[in-house]
Structure formats: C-alpha cells, structure tokens
C-alpha cells in the first residue's frame, strides 16, 4: 500500500472496512454508486475540499484491492485484518503515519451527504479550544435508530457537556424518538488519539468502538450540531442508498438552477455529481446527464435524452437521443432518436436527424444526415449531404474497416458503403448504390454494384 505523503498538520482517516452485509451484494459497499460516483469518493473529495491532502482509507482484506483500484495511487490504504471495530480501524490508520499529526479527522466511508462547510466548522471549532481532545459532528432531534446517541450533562440542549456516545447496538432502551445522534464525523487531537485509541476496551459485542473515547476524558469532548439533519444519513442497505441518492440529486439540481440553468421538471431530471452545465442551458423532463458530461451554454437537452461522459458545446439541441462518450461541438442539432456511441466526434453546425447512429466517426462541420443512417468507423468531411438510409458497412465478419467521405460529397438515399472505401471530395452516389470501390473526386457512382458514370465533357 502507499505511504503517507507528508507529516501534515491534519490527516484524514476514512473508515471503509465494514463488511456491508446488509447491502446483500458482491460489490463492496463503499463502491456502490450514488449520483454517479462510488460512495468512497465523497469523503475523499470532502477532505480535499477542506484542505486535507494526507488521507488514509481503512479497508478490509476482502475489499482492499477493489477500493484501492478505485482510489488510485494518491491515497494511502491501511488494512484492518479482522472486523474489530472502529477504534481498531483508526489504530490501523495511525500505524501508517511516521508521527502523530496535530489533528486527525475521521469520517465513515458510507456517509456521502456531509457538506464541506460542516466539516470546516467542525475543524475550526475543535482548533479553537486548546483543551479539546475530541469534537463530534452531531445531528440534533434526528430520527435515526441505527446511529449512536450523544449523552450530555449539565446545561440543557446542545450546550451540555458530552459524557458518552451510546452505540445503537449497545443501547438498553427501545427509544425511537428524536435524539442528538452521532454522524460518525470526528476531529481529534492527534497525539491524544494515538495514545488513547489502544486503551479502548471491547464492548459487549466484542468490538472496540471509537465512540468509547467520549467517556475517557472528562470535559475534553464536545459535540457540534450540524445545520441540516440529512448530513447524518449513512448507507447500510439499499433502501438507505436510495434515500441518500434522492438527497444528492435534489442538491445537484438546486445547485445548477442557482447557477443559471433551467430545469423544467427537477423530479424527472437526473444529473450526476461530476456533470458541468453552462449558463442559460435548459434541461427538459425525463433527461439524464451522467458521468463526467459537460454541457455548454444556451443548449437545450431533452426531453427524454441520456447524455453520458460526453462533451457538448454551446447552443446545441439534443432531442430524445442517447449520447455516450462522444464529443459534440457548438451549434449542433441532434435527434430525435439519435444514438452517438463512443468516439463519435460531431463538429460545429452538424445536423443529425431522426434515427441516426454514429460510432467511432468524425462528422465534419456543416454536414447533414437527416434520416435513418448508420455511420460507423468513418471520417466524414465538411458540408457532406448524407441521404436517408445510408449505411457504412464497416464489419466484414472478422475486422472493422474505415469509410472516408470527402468534403462536399453527396451520398444518395439508401447508399451502402462497403468499407474500406473512399468517396472523394465533391463526389456523389446515386440512390440505392452499393459502393464497393473508391469514388474519385468529383465523380458519380450509381447502381449495384456501383459503377462510375462517364465524366461530363469539359470536366477534365
């Protein structure tokens, strides 16, 4: 596993070694996706947004390899050899550090709803008190039976002194009403944590809980309530995953509407977390923008469109179509019922009408394909007219071959281009032509198989 990068003032620890058995899945729980990203990505990005570069993710022997592959080389992974509880997990993380940092921030790997400002407030509140050893991010008046309850004494409400955190699995009562709950987000004095974490005794379950530290030093523990209770939501099963997804998507839609994007019906619009959208773009109902899609300014997308991992320029119109891993330049109209498959490059001013499929093909600027076409493994020049029913026959049963169409060519309706084949600049094919040989520049080919028409007098 990777070594920690530096002796930073603050280190982030993400707990992701749980078995996640309630998910009933072969996929490790931290790799289940919400709003298009693995759950584990959210705490990693949260720490980075709060200025913490040194991050240790605690994994299990079973899920470590898969999680490490998703995180990449910039994150340290520490293996918790057996499921011994959160205190043991943090001890495994601290063992990867050359020295105890001044501050340790601990997050769960399955709580993607914590906002950056909440974590900044926690870190600031903790740093503001020199005698503080542990600060907990809490949610007041929350209904969360599976989260630990914070116990206070002294003054009423959130100003009372924290004396313990009672884990859900350890509670003796059956209380299901509102309570101040532990969100699983902590800020610790680093040297104190390093000294104390190995002193935590096992609970009745046999696990050593990090929350037991709250009762181990009188007066040095505090809880900071968050402003939005939804930040406490974690994921233990697929019902909770769905609930978290709903919150994330609502946040994403609200963000883009405040940034100058019109979303006509947010309830039927699904935008992933890594999508970017330009000013004055309109997103119509039943539309999904997924992956790392970028939509330019003044576009109209939808209704009934799916755009995945695609870059779209300005002033484009996409109607009831699917685009995946494609590039679309500005002033392009697409649809309805088009399908842009991976490596489709659509240059400026192109028009693709109904039922046009494009795969691994460059379509030059100003080209039009109005109806019922398949354009695969092709290079199509500028200003080409592609008639209805045109097919690039790119597959011979063994290999894929390329079709090249020169600029300003005219491809007649129902033309079949049997690749590999080239139609030269300014050339034309007749309706129903089956083109098996190259068509030189300026020439016309008609028939089955296509033959070149005689050149007109004076054309040479």
Helix then strand count (H, E) for the chain reads 6, 40
The answer to whether 102 and 29 are in contact (CB under 8 A) is no
> The tokens 């773009």 sit on which residue?
281
- Concatenate the DSSP letters of all residues of 319-332 into one string: -S-EEES-EE-SS-
Residues 161 and 452: their CA atoms lie apart, in Å, by 92
Whether 255 sits among the annotated catalytic residues: the reply is: no
The C-alpha angle 447, 451, 457, rounded to 5 degrees, equals: 115
Tell me which residue of 295, 244, 248 sits closest to 273, measured CA to CA. Answer: 248
Q: Which residues contact 398 (CB under 8 A, 6 or more apart)?
A: none
Phi, psi of 418 (to 5 degrees): -85, 100
Contacts of 324 (CB under 8 A, 6+ apart): 306, 307, 308, 309, 310, 340, 341, 342
Give dist(CA 404, CA 419) in Å, integer: 9
In 3D space, the residue among 380, 377, 422 whose CA is nearest the CA of residue 400 turns out to be 377
How deeply is 174 buried, as exposed, middle or buried, from its count of CB atoms within 10 A (0-12, 13-18, 19+)?
A: exposed
For residue 261, count other CB atoms closer than 10 A to its CB: 21
- Chain centroid to CA 228: how far? 23
**Tokens 């992956």 sit at which residue?**
291
Rounded to the nearest 10°, the torsion over CA 293, 294, 296, 301 is 20
DSSP state of 268: G
Indicate the length of the chain as a whole number.
460
Token code pair at residue 395: 């597959």
Catalytic residue among 255, 339, 351, 371: 371
Is residue 309 within 8 Å of 325, Cβ to Cβ?
A: yes
CB atoms within 10 A of CB 11: 28
- Measured over the CA atoms of residue 65, residue 70, residue 72 and residue 77, the dihedral's sign is negative
Sign of CA dihedral 118, 121, 125, 126: positive
Angstrom distance (rounded) from CA 46 to CA 56:
13
Hey, which residues are catalytic here?
371
């Amino acid at each position: 596993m990777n070594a920690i990068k530096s002796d930073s003032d603050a280190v982030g620890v993400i707990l992701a070694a749980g078995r996640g058995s309630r998910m009933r899945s072969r996929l490790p729980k931290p790799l289940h996706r919400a709003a298009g990203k693995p759950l584990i990505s959210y705490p990693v990005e949260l720490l980075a947004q709060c200025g913490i570069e040194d991050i240790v993710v605690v994994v299990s022997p079973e899920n470590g390899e898969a999680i490490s592959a998703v995180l990449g080389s910039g994150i340290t992974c520490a293996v918790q050899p057996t499921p011994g509880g959160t205190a043991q997990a943090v001890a495994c993380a601290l063992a990867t550090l050359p020295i105890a940092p001044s501050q340790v921030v601990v997050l769960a790997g399955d709580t993607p709803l914590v906002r950056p400002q909440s974590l900044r407030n926690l870190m600031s509140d903790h740093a503001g008190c020199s005698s503080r050893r542990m600060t907990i991010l809490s949610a007041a008046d929350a209904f969360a039976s599976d989260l630990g309850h914070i116990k206070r004494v002294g003054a009423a409400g959130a100003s009372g002194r924290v004396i313990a955190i009672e884990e859900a699995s350890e509670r003796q009562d059956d209380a299901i009403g509102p309570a101040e709950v532990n969100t699983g987000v902590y800020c610790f004095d680093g040297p104190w944590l390093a000294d104390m974490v190995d002193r935590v005794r096992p609970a009745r379950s046999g696990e050593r809980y990090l929350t037991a530290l709250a009762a181990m030093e009188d007066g040095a523990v505090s809880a900071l309530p968050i402003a939005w209770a939804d930040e406490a939501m974690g994921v233990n099963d697929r019902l909770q995953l769905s609930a978290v997804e709903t919150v994330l998507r609502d946040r994403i839609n609200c963000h883009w509407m405040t940034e100058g994007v019109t979303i006509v019906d947010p309830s039927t619009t699904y935008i992933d977390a890594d999508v970017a959208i330009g000013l004055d773009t309109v997103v119509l109902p039943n539309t999904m923008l997924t992956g790392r899609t970028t939509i330019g300014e003044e576009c109209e997308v939808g209704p009934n469109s799916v755009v995945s991992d695609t870059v779209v320029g300005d002033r484009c119109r996409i109607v009831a179509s699917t685009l995946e891993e494609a590039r679309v330049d500005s002033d392009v109209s697409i649809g309805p019922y088009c399908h842009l498959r991976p490596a489709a490059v659509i240059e400026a001013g192109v028009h693709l009408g109904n039922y046009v499929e494009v795969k691994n093909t460059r379509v030059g600027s100003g080209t039009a394909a109005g109806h019922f076409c398949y354009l695969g493994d092709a290079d199509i020049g500028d200003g080409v007219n592609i008639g209805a029913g045109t097919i690039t026959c790119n597959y011979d049963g063994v290999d894929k071959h390329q079709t090249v169409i020169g600029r300003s060519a005219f491809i007649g309706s129902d033309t079949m281009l049997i690749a590999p084949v080239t139609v030269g600049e300014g050339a034309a094919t007749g309706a129903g032509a089956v083109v098996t040989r190259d068509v030189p520049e300026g020439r016309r080919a008609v028939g089955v198989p296509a033959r070149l028409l005689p050149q007109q007098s004076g054309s040479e």
